[in-house]
Amino acid sequence: ELKVEQNPLFLSMQEGKNYTIYCNYSTTSDRLYWYRQDPGKSLESLFVLLSNGAVKQEGRLMASLDTKARLSTLHITAAVHDLSATYFCAVDGDPNSGYALNFGKGTSLLVTP
C-alpha cells in the first residue's frame, strides 16, 4: 500500500522565519505535486515535480524532489502571514491503481506576527 507521510502536521512559525515541510512516500513514483488549501476552499496547485533533482521556486516557496530517497521538501523562506494555509503533497500511485493520486495528511501552517 502506497504511503505518503508529511511532517510536521502542524506548524506555527513567526513571520520572517524559515522552515521546511517534509514529504516521504513509499512508491517509486517520480512525479510529486504540492498543493495549498485555504480553509473551506479547494486545492491550489503550487508545484509539479516530474523528475529526480527537480527544484522549483515561486516567491517564498521552494520545492525539491529526491526520488532516490523518496523525499520531497517544501521550503518556506521569510514567512509572511499570507502563507498560512494547509499544504499537501501528493504522488501518482502505482500502475495497478491507475496512478491515482495519493495525498499526505497535510501540514497546517500558521504564520504569526
Partner 1 sequence: KAGVTQTPRYLIKTRGQQVTLSCSPISGHRSVSWYQQTPGQGLQFLFEYFSETQRNKGNFPGRFSGRQFSNSRSEMNVSTLELGDSALYLCASSATPTGHTFYGYTFGSGTRLTVV
**Does residue 100 belong to the site contacting partner 1 (CB under 8 A)?**
yes
Residues numbered 59-98 forming contacts with partner 1, rule: CB under 8 A: 88, 90, 92-93, 95, 97-98
Burial profile 28-63: b = 16 or more Cβ within 10 angstroms, e = fewer: ebebbbbbbeeeeeeeeebbebeeeebeeeeeebbb
Q: How far is the CB of 70 from partner 1 (least distance, A)?
A: 17
Q: Where are the alpha helices (DSSP H) in the chain?
A: none
Q: Which residue has 496547485 as its cell numbers? A: 45
Among 10, 15, 20, 41, binds partner 1 (CB under 8 A): 41
Give 6 or 111: the residue with its C-beta nearer to partner 1.
6
- Peptide bond before residue 8 is cis, with ω within 30 degrees of 0: yes
The contact set with partner 1 (CB under 8 A) reads 31, 33, 35, 41-45, 48, 50, 88, 90, 92-93, 95, 97-106
